Amino acid sequence: MTSHPTDTPQAPGSPAIKTRRFSVSLVWIVPIVAVLVGISLVVHSILQQGPTITLNFKTGSGLTANKTEVKYRNVVIGQVTDVALSDDQKSVNATVQLAKQAESFTRADSQFWVVRPRIGAGGVSGIDTLLSGDYIGADIGQSETRAKQFKGLENPPPITYGEPGKRFTLHTQTLGSLDIGSPVYYRKIEVGQVVAYELDAEGKGVNVEVFVHAPNDAYVTENTRFWNASGIDLSVGANGFALKTESLSSMLVGGIAFRAPPYSPNDKPADEARTFELFDDQDSALAPPNGEGQYMALRFDQALRGLKVGAPVEFLGVEFGKVVSINLDFDAKKRSFPLNVGIVIYPQLLGQAHTKLLKVMNHDPNDEAAGVQLIGSFIENGLRAQARSGNLLTGQLYIALDFYPKADKVKFDPSLRPVSIPTIPGNLEQLQEKLENIVNKINQLPIERIAGNLDSNLVELRKGLTQFNAKTLPGVQNTLADVSKTLQSASSTLAEDSPQREQLTQTLDELGRMSRSLRELSDYLGRHPESLIRGRPDNAAPLDLQGPPRK
């Protein structure tokens, strides 16, 4: 920049003033413009630059500085600028530069995870990364607080992007084959999945968190029952075989099904985060409420092979309890080993019979002493317990309570706890006892003496037949021969066309047939002398006692 003196008009009587004029060279215009553009770009970059956050992962697999992107709904919202070990060298910190419009992802409950090809309970995911490479997935949170440090997830969350629906907590004794991503079914249609699980506060069960997508979450009501539909439910018991499964997917990765009981009056949709019980199977889930259980004791003197814990207890064919214990005991007086069986019954499962019984007997179910007296009256009227066969193929037994008015009287002791119900032998034991009595009676018969008498009678019979064949039969035959000769002589003296001659000829024929019949009878008795005692068998060849037909 240079200055040039300029001449200005000078007022009369005033001193002369010298001035300089500055000018800008055209050479400096381009650099000045470039500087201004650069400053504007820097300012714009600073204004558009988003926050910087740090993600902590167990490993750096799939993370590359200045290459790995952060995406939300498959849109890039940031990039990894640095990957380094943590201070304790037990994990990896990934520094992420977010875009300005992604500033809301700094909320404290936002989630980040590495997207890579995975095969899990929820299916196959991350296939697109085989070509584009791994990237970091993100899901915005709802918290009002902000954070700079985040713990990266090792597995993608099952519910992302603010999916509408409700979460519920299910309590069960064991997790079984369930896992994060296992499906949730309603009437065999997948409507949700398992999103988390953990042990309960006491460590005696498992809390499973499920998410049901809208609008199907409205089907989860206050009376809804959940049950484990994992794998193949094959049960073999006193009630026979039962095979159930929800779907092919549940057979492989497990699953949960839910439904309200058929009769659920005034049912309302369940609130968010409501806790339900997770039953083992559909039958137990949809069964009516058991009510208060009553424990009772049974004592059997016979073996009960096939009776298992959990076997049903029935009253007049209606199941209303189960076997809870089976213990072997020793009776010092009888020197035997009886079985003590513990059962629990739920009278409320008898339905209207239980309601009417309480009304007729004016019985208070909360009065334990009155309940014991009621059972005592039933026992006095013949109430007995019996182990019966429920399945001939498997040999499974169940306990049946029924009235046997002719059963032996038993003195009831109301002071015993739990209440003891008398027992009677089972059907098979009774049949076995009858068969043993029949066998014992047969064994008491003098079989050997009877057989000896029969042998001696047969010997005497043979001797008699021998004498008959040797002496009596030849004499009879000789007599018949003499009579035949006499009749023939008489016939020769008669006229050929006389009636007397014709009658004489018929008489001779009858004598011939009689002689042949006697010989055949003698031969048959000689071969089968026992026929005189047992009779002639039905399949024996007929004897021709009449001789050949007349001509």
Give the tens place of pLDDT for each residue, 34-67: 888 888 877 776 666 789 999 999 999 889 999 9
Residue matched to tokens 């920049």: 1
Q: Note the pLDDT tens digit of each residue in 66-90.
A: 999 999 988 999 999 999 999 999 9
Q: Note the pLDDT tens digit of each residue in 198-250.
A: 999 888 899 999 999 999 999 999 999 999 887 555 555 555 555 555 545 54
Cα–Cα distance measured from residue 362 to residue 372, given in angstroms and rounded to the nearest whole number:
14
**Domain layout of the chain by residue ranges:** 45-151, 165-286, 294-440, 447-534
Band of pLDDT at residue 546, cut at 50, 70 and 90: very low
Contact 254, 231 (CB under 8 A): yes
Which of 355-364, 414-423, 507-516, 538-547 has the weakest average pLDDT?
A: 538-547
Conformation bin of residue 277: beta by default, left when phi > 0, alpha when psi is -120 to 50: beta
Whether residue 545 is predicted with pLDDT greater than 50 in this model: the reply is no
- The 3-class SS string of 359-428 reads HHCCCCCCCHHHHHHHHHHHHHCCEEEEEEECCCCCCCEEEEEEECCCCCCCCCCCCCCCEECCECCCHH
Which of 210-224, 313-327, 351-365, 527-541 has the weakest average pLDDT?
A: 527-541
Which of 96-100, 230-234, 272-276, 329-333 has the weakest average pLDDT?
A: 230-234
More confident residue, 267 or 479: 267
Strand order through the sheet with 111-115: 111-115, 135-139, 69-72, 75-85, 92-99, 49-57, 149-151
Phi, psi of 121 (to 5 degrees): -65, -30
Helix (H, G, I), strand (E, B) or coil at 239: coil
For the chain, counts of helices (H) and of strands (E): 11, 27
For the chain, report the end-to-end CA distance as a whole number of angstroms.
173
Band of pLDDT at residue 157, cut at 50, 70 and 90: confident
The mean per-residue pLDDT over the stretch 425-434 comes to: 64
Contact 341, 304 (CB under 8 A): yes
**Structural Rg of the chain based on CA atoms:** 53
Which of 16-25, 221-230, 289-298, 475-484 has the weakest average pLDDT?
A: 16-25
Contact 214, 248 (CB under 8 A): no
